[in-house]
Amino acid sequence: MHVLGTSGHVDHGKSTLVRVLTGIDPDRLREEQQRQMTIDLGFAWLTLPSGEEIGIVDVPGHRDFVENMLAGVGGFEAALLVVAADEGVRPQTREHVAILDLMEVPGLLVALSKIDLADGPEWRTLAMEEVASFLASTRFAGSSIIPVSAKTGEGIPELMSAIAALFGAMPPRKDLGRPRLAIDRVFSMSGFGTVVTGTLADGPLSVGEEVQLLPERKKARIRGLQTHRQSMGSAVPGSRVAVNLSGISVSEVRRGDVLVKEGTYDPTARADILVRAWKAGEESVENQEEMKLFAGTAQTLARTRLLGEDRIRPGESGWVQFDLARPMILARGDHVILRRPSPGTTVGGGWVAEPHPERRHRRGDAKILRQLAETLSQDPRDVFRERLRRAGVARVGDLGVLAGLDLSQSISVARELHASKNLIAWSGPVEPLGAASVVADVERYREWTESVLGELLRFHRERPLRRGMPRVEVLSRLKLETRWANLLLDAMAASGQLADGGAWLALAGHLPKLDDGQANALAQWNLKNQASPFAPPSWREGIQALGPELAAFYVDSGLGIQVTEDIVFGAEAYQEMVGRIKNELSARGSLTVAQVRDVLGASRKYALALLEHLDRLGVTRRDGDLRRLGPAGQGTSLA
Ligand code: GDP
């Protein structure tokens, strides 16, 4: 499906021509019929000889309504420029063509209208020459010019064939799988409720789908869909659609809102845009200037921050970061129009390079300018790689969305980059890569692994007695989202680069190391313990004797078993005590604390501390004043 838009100076015969071509009166508002002038968008459709239907948007030509005209241009793929043969190129002919040029509308066709009023063939030739030479300095140089009269019918069949030829050569509208509908009309129909219309872009919509209205994120459901007054189950990109919504009232929606599926687009209040000042205009774009920015059917005030030169003169281009007064829905590659708020004049247009800049850019930052220039490159591989480099790691499908590629393109680019070892397939389907596969940039992946290894090395050096670095600490130092960071650590453990102890991580092969002084201190402590192994000196004393690091190592490494804050038994003594208690319990069935104290030959304090510790492990079980074997105490092994 495709959309053709009219354009041209007021009264040159646009609406009349649409009526003759389609049989539909596009001037829908009473006010227009009274004033005989188009002040807002009008809509109609046309069936080509091939059977294909073309949507038509009729725009107002009067200078007071240029901003209404802009709400229609975003949906055009081709324009029908109407120039009256008796008047020739006029101011709004120029302004409309400038806007179509700045928006990079792909196709254009000229109807030299009211040819019945042209005085003889010579006049007709002159009028055609004037239009041709005017178009020569635009992207539409060489477009067909068809002389027509809506009054006599002359040239209408030729115009029809020219329209058919124009669209016959045009590829279908791209389908990115994420529809957006820039809303140009909102009204209510009795028996139906809220209806919105617009030109559907970037993906299909179907009846029954949950949708969201941006920027306010209001929810609604599609109750019905119509294209050219025909009800449909679903609508394809490029069609003019009327959407009947349930769950939302007319007062909650307005022109400029964008209907999308939840989670596919985010409104933005800032954008990096390559601005082109209108060549034939008289005004430059200045820094810190308040302008009106038009995108889709929306408009907002926006403040400029020129990133390169101080001023963009007519015919020149430059990078501008805009701060938007009202959030908009922008995607990379969208075109925008810039106007001065008052008096309302068109100053230029722009191409959105980055709809979600990470930050406010400094002026004259060469790195940013280089990065932005790179995004201009249209080679999908470069755009994809650039996005991956910035994200570091992402799903293939999400990268495609960021790069403005459709799904099949993103998958094939990812596979190509994988084959040439420019991309690391990280998880999800690897052979072959799919939309859900997680991929990483080779450089960034290397930086992250080096950073993890470096952190671990530093940790081991500073704390040679620790088994490993707490995982949470590793995660907090890594500049990477936790979900990806955990994947990275898993991958590094799987490849043998590090040892994963769950709560801690260590370099592969790392063993705690004692120096001579530490070994000596431990030997002294063991000696001190052996004087009464079942009633060792308090652990406070132990920490003092060993120092906090060595004390932590003593417990961490299992040399000592901590049963309370202040009681740590040597491992051998602990095993001996537990063995004795279990033996006695198997033989006698139960023991009191006093009996345990006697079995161990230690004081009640130690016996009780050990029993409570064994209760917690389930080796013993308390039963009133008695202890019995617990669920974990039945076997021969220790808990
Ligand atoms: P728009 O403002 O460009 O949409 O122009 P309209 O379609 O409203 O036409 C403006 C005026 O020109 C109307 O009075 C039409 O009747 C008249 N008009 C349109 N087409 C022709 C034509 O081919 N020949 C003549 N003689 N008059 C025309």
Residue 175's pLDDT is what?
A: 79
Q: Is the pLDDT of residue 36 over 70?
A: no
CA 320, CA 318: separation in Å to the nearest integer?
6
Pocket lining: 11 vs ligand 1, CB cutoff 6 Å? yes
Pocket lining: 116 vs ligand 1, CB cutoff 6 Å? yes
Give nearest CA residue, ligand 1 atom 14.
11
Residue 639's pLDDT is what?
A: 40
- Residue 143 CA, ligand 1 centroid: distance in Å: 23
- Residue 449 CA, ligand 1 centroid: distance in Å: 71
Q: For the segment 443-454, what is each residue's pLDDT rounded down to a tens digit?
A: 888 889 999 999
User: 327 preceded by cis ω (within 30°)?
Assistant: no
| Helix axes 380-391 and 396-403, enclosed angle (nearest 10) | 120
pTM of the model: 0.66
Q: Which residue has the higher pLDDT, 563 or 410?
A: 563
As given in the structure block, the two tokens for residue 156 are 């209408």
Instruction: Give mean pLDDT, residues 535-559.
Output: 91
Percent of the chain at pLDDT > 90 equals 51
Q: Is the pLDDT of residue 542 over 60?
A: yes
* Residue of 11, 41, 69, 148 to test ligand 1 pocket, by largest number of atoms within 8 Å of CB: 11
Give nearest CA residue, ligand 1 atom 16.
16
Instruction: Give mean pLDDT, residues 489-493.
Output: 88
* Residue of 6, 14, 16 to test ligand 1 pocket, by largest number of atoms within 8 Å of CB: 16
Give nearest CA residue, ligand 1 atom 2.
11
- Residue 25 CA, ligand 1 centroid: distance in Å: 13
Q: Is the pLDDT of residue 32 over 70?
A: no
Q: Is the pLDDT of residue 93 over 80?
A: yes
Q: For the segment 333-392, what is each residue's pLDDT rounded down to a tens digit?
A: 899 999 998 888 899 999 998 898 888 999 989 888 888 887 776 677 788 888 888 888
Residue 37's pLDDT is what?
A: 64
Pocket lining: 10 vs ligand 1, CB cutoff 6 Å? yes
Q: For the segment 270-294, what is each residue's pLDDT rounded down to a tens digit?
A: 999 999 999 888 889 999 999 999 9
Pocket lining: 150 vs ligand 1, CB cutoff 6 Å? yes
- Residue 150 CA, ligand 1 centroid: distance in Å: 8
CA 639, CA 634: separation in Å to the nearest integer?
10
Q: Which residue has the higher pLDDT, 462 or 81?
A: 81
Pocket lining: 38 vs ligand 1, CB cutoff 6 Å? yes
Unique residue bearing structure tokens 């009202």 = 326
Q: Is the pLDDT of residue 167 over 60?
A: yes
Residue 540's pLDDT is what?
A: 95
- Give the DSSP letter of residue 250: G
Q: Average model confidence (pLDDT) for the chain?
A: 88
Residue 133 CB contacts under 8 Å (≥ 6 apart), including other chains: none
Q: Is the pLDDT of residue 110 over 90?
A: yes
Unique residue bearing structure tokens 């050569």 = 169
Residue 69's pLDDT is what?
A: 78
- pLDDT class of 429 with cuts at 50, 70, 90: low
- pLDDT class of 39 with cuts at 50, 70, 90: low
Closest by CA position to 257, among listed 347, 320, 194: 194
- Residue 13 CA, ligand 1 centroid: distance in Å: 4
Lowest mean pLDDT among 145-154, 167-176, 566-575, 613-622: 167-176
One-letter amino acid at 282 equals E
Residue 562's pLDDT is what?
A: 95
Q: Is the pLDDT of residue 636 over 60?
A: no
Pocket lining: 114 vs ligand 1, CB cutoff 6 Å? yes
Q: What is the CA radius of gyration of the chain?
A: 38
Q: For the segment 210-246, what is each residue's pLDDT rounded down to a tens digit?
A: 999 999 999 999 999 998 888 899 999 989 899 999 9
Residue 638's pLDDT is what?
A: 47
Q: Is the pLDDT of residue 482 over 60?
A: yes
Instruction: Give mean pLDDT, residues 318-330.
Output: 96
Q: Is the pLDDT of residue 458 over 90?
A: yes
Lowest mean pLDDT among 158-167, 353-362, 395-404, 608-617: 395-404
What is the DSSP secondary-structure string of 541-576?
A: HHHHHH-HHHHHHHHHTTSEEESSSS-EEEHHHHHH
> Which ligand 1 atom is nearest residue 82's CA?
3
Give nearest CA residue, ligand 1 atom 17.
13
Residue 514's pLDDT is what?
A: 84
